[in-house]
Amino acid sequence: MRPLLRTGLQRLALGFVTLFIVSIIIFLSIEALPGDFAQSMLGRSAAADTVEAYRLMLGLDRPVFERYLSWAAGAVQGDFGMSLTSRPGSIRAVNDMIGPRLYNTFFLAAMTALIAVPLAVLLGILTALYRGSWFDRLINGSTLMAISVPEFFIAYILCYIVISKDMFAFGQLAQILPQWANDGIIWLLSFVPKLPTLAVINESTSFGERVWKLILPALTLTLVITAHMMRMTRAVLINVLASSYVEMARLKGLSKTRVVLCHALPNAWAPIATVIAFNLAYLIVGVVVVEVVFVYPGIGQLMVDAVRTRDIPVVQACTLIFAATYIILNLIADCVAIITNPRLLYPR
């Protein structure tokens, strides 16, 4: 257990160092943005004395290094400062703004992960077992198409299908297709429930209603991330299934299911866990487009609004949370890979 604990502590220390470097990059990058922040907040018609007084109130007259230490010390304690809106008198704590939005994003990510991760692993196992079959070609073609199509386009297509379930209105497509194809599409659309196309929620929204309104956003993200995880699972399992010990297990007369679950899958968890971690991180930091399409009040949309209004404390806090999410999920993936494959503790 000592080598595992030592490796985990090393990964954790490396994560803290990485987060420290990223925090410096975030602060300096925002600091390097052109223009005067105080002037942009007050407007071009503001008097010079008012702008200077506002700069003193925000502490912009202090050196960059001193302001970074002050911001970093507050971030370590969970205090990201105050959010600045278009008027100096309207100030809110960044934590109060990020808290509900971060919960909404985590809720959508968890709902998507509960669907996408088991589905991707299952499809990866099945396509690896039946490599070269019509099922393998169908799933690979579908996932390749899902990877190639942007997520916002998938979201709009799903919304259009839901809206058009009661009337087949695909424009010229309905005129080109034969009658039997139109009847088949209408029959398939009859099974599509009337799902909400806007994920507008608030603090009073119940759990069941929240899940109902997030079906389309979760389905959109599932179609996007399942493809990556499935293809990685399939590729790794095919590589492992070609190993000599797997061949020996087959010669002993073991079933395909037992060979995959008991011999191949445990040795394939390291790269699978890594790709799952990256896709889960995408669910936190890469859902900006999906949140905008479905008008979902998540942290991604909050960051977009903060960039538009030049709300620097909110942008810094959101970016740091995104970076910490990537680091934590990568740390978890490393631990899972080491636990499932202890040989990684002893490099060649």
pLDDT digits (tens, 9 = 90+) for 81-114: 777 764 545 567 788 888 888 888 888 888 888 9
In the predicted model, is pLDDT for residue 141 greater than 70?
yes
Let me know: does 116 contact 294? Beta carbons within 8 Å.
no
pLDDT digits (tens, 9 = 90+) for 148-164: 888 788 888 887 777 76
Lowest mean pLDDT among 109-118, 131-140, 278-287, 295-304: 278-287
329 closest CA partner among 113, 88, 111, 33: 113
pLDDT above 90: percentage of residues in the chain: 0
In the predicted model, is pLDDT for residue 204 greater than 60?
yes
What's the whole-number mean pLDDT along residues 50-55? 71
Model pLDDT, residue 188: 64
* Two tokens, residue 121: 């692993």
> What CA–CA distance (Å, rounded) separates 54 from 49?
9
> What CA–CA distance (Å, rounded) separates 64 from 79?
19
Let me know: does 271 contact 236? Beta carbons within 8 Å.
yes
In the predicted model, is pLDDT for residue 218 greater than 80?
yes
Buried b / exposed e over 280-313, threshold 16 CB at 10 Å, is bbbbbbbbbbbbebbebbbbbbbbbebeebbbbb
323 closest CA partner among 281, 283, 293, 272: 281
> What CA–CA distance (Å, rounded) separates 340 from 262?
12
Instruction: With cut-offs at 50, 70 and 90, classify the pLDDT of residue 32.
Output: confident
In the predicted model, is pLDDT for residue 169 greater than 70?
no
91 phi and psi, to 5 degrees?
A: -130, 135
What's the whole-number mean pLDDT along residues 39-50? 68
What are the residue ranges spanned by the domains of the chain?
2-95, 100-151+201-207+222-345
CATH class of residue range 100-151+201-207+222-345: mainly alpha
- Angle of helix 265-285 relative to helix 312-340, nearest 10 degrees, comes to 170
Instruction: With cut-offs at 50, 70 and 90, classify the pLDDT of residue 324.
Output: confident
Model pLDDT, residue 5: 74
Let me know: does 306 contact 239? Beta carbons within 8 Å.
no
pLDDT digits (tens, 9 = 90+) for 253-295: 777 777 777 777 777 777 787 788 888 888 877 677 888 888 8
Which residue is it, tokens 């993200």? Answer: 221
Of how many residues is the chain composed?
348
User: Cα–Cα distances in Å, from 333 out to 7, 8, 99, 183, 253?
Assistant: 13, 11, 26, 47, 33
Answer with the residue of higher pLDDT: 107 or 8.
Answer: 107
Model pLDDT, residue 269: 77
Amino acid code (one letter) for 101? R
pTM above 0.75, yes or no: yes
User: Cα–Cα distances in Å, from 60 out to 38, 90, 185, 314?
Assistant: 9, 18, 61, 16
338 closest CA partner among 275, 274, 280, 243: 274
User: Cα–Cα distances in Å, from 54 out to 32, 78, 89, 286, 315?
Assistant: 19, 25, 11, 34, 20
